[in-house]
Chains A and B, each alone.
Chain A
Amino acid sequence: MSLMIVDFVPDLILAFLVICMAWGAMHARSRHDAMAMFVAFGLVVALIWARLGAPDLALAEAAIGAGLTGVLLLQAARQIPAEPRTMKKTTVQFILPLVFIVLAIALFASQLFSDDALNISEQARIRPDVGLSAPSMSDRVHLAMPDSGVGHPVTAVLLNFRAWDTLLELLVLLLALSGLRQLYPSSQSAQKKSDGPLVRGPEPWPLLLAWSRFLAPLLIVMGGYLLWRGADAPGGAFQAGALLAAAAVVLRLAGLLPALRWSSLTVRLAINVGALLFMTVAALTLYFGAGWLHYPAAQAGILILGIEVFATLSIAITLTLLVIGEYEDLHT
């Protein structure tokens, strides 16, 4: 029994940390404090995913939540003016919603514990034998795994069982980038120097250059490893894409990578190729095969790998541009 309690302590500390950081990320004195808190929040959330046994998510969160979001916030922090004296909400306006939160949590907790509609009272039950009752979605996934063409269930869900979601999600990335392009209207190209603050600051120090040269290949190797391994173990296109994007960001910041100009066909191709290939596969399966996104069983593995490789490329370039893209990248 005492052992149980000891096992529970890390969870409690993580919960405490995460609550403090959530609060600080919104209500810290200065914007910069809030942003730093938010990056710390992402880091601790990655640890929580680890505690909850979700390696794919821990990898994604470590790369995206703690890494790229951090760069993104820093990028914003250098551009925005100091926070004006905001109208402080009165205490009542501040406290009333808080009271509401406490009540809502209490209600939710009482429901959670009384009739346990969500079945979470015992930890990690071994799933019941399939076939006794109607199989749940995760049972179906495990049963269908042999036909999926990959060995890792999460990858199978992402790129086979629910491939349509993933395809649409690649479009979400593209759209965010298209939206970003609107922020530097081309009609104002004359004022671009003063309008679009540049990413690159002063000449980087030699130490930073050397360190970037060392770091970027490591990131790329790790990204490639996660991609290659994603078929059979935690990892996959998104984690790999995020790591590659981090590599590109580092190189770009150090001035070692030229601008990813929108006018270059290669860049646009790299951005589009993931979604385009995915759509093409879908259309081909519709025309020649058994139906929309119905991979032939024999080629499923190869198709998924191909889609993953190109999706990784697209994700990497798109994320890079989303994080540090600027006038020079997006409109020249």
Chain B
Amino acid sequence: MSLLLDSLAWLLMIFGLLFFITGALGLIRFPDIYSRLHAVTKTDTLGLGLLAAGLAIKSESVSTALLLLFIWLLVLASGAVSCQLLARYSLESDPAATGISEHIPGESDDR
């Protein structure tokens, strides 16, 4: 494997990891469910994509690369759909939340 390709792979994987860390931070720090949905379903999916791309380069095999691509697409679609579903579910089960930004769930936390 050429040095160039190898370093490209590592670069991709490190970027992927960074996105994972960002997603994790977002999941912890973001104030409400709707913004956390972004953190998990978008950032992590992107992170996984970058990681899979890096791994695909490293694996040096077309079939593996295709499998990785397929897994990523699946996670991408699943992430998008579950983001939608969860957001709707949250809205539906929370009739008070007409506007999203004013809502602070932390207040009802003390049970």
Contact = CB atoms under 8 A, between A and B. Distances in A.
A1 interface: no
User: B interface, how many residues as a size bin?
Assistant: under 10
A293 to B, nearest CB: 37
B5 interface: no
A208 interface: yes
Interface string B64-108: 000000000010010001001100100000000000000000000
A211 B111 contact: no
B91 to A, nearest CB: 12
A211 B76 CA distance: 13
B77 A214 contact: yes
If over half of A's interface residues share one DSSP class (helix, strand or loop), that class is named, otherwise mixed; here it is helix
A243 to B, nearest CB: 14
A207 B74 contact: no
B51 to A, nearest CB: 15
Contacts of B84: 207
A218 B74 contact: yes
B17 to A, nearest CB: 14
A32 to B, nearest CB: 12
A211 B81 CA distance: 7
A205 interface: yes
A29 B85 contact: no
B66 to A, nearest CB: 15
Greatest chain A CB density within 10 A among B74, B81, B84, B111 is at: B81
Contacts of B111: 29
Contacts of B74: 218
A205 B84 CA distance: 11
Contacts of A207: 81, 84-85
A207 B84 CA distance: 8
Nearest to A215: B78
Nearest to B81: A211
Interface in A184-232: 205, 207-208, 211, 214, 218
A29 B74 CA distance: 34
A129 to B, nearest CB: 35
Contacts of B81: 207-208, 211
Interface of A: 29, 205, 207-208, 211, 214, 218
13 contacts: A29-B111, A205-B85, A205-B88, A207-B81, A207-B84, A207-B85, A208-B81, A208-B85, A211-B77, A211-B81, A211-B85, A214-B77, A218-B74
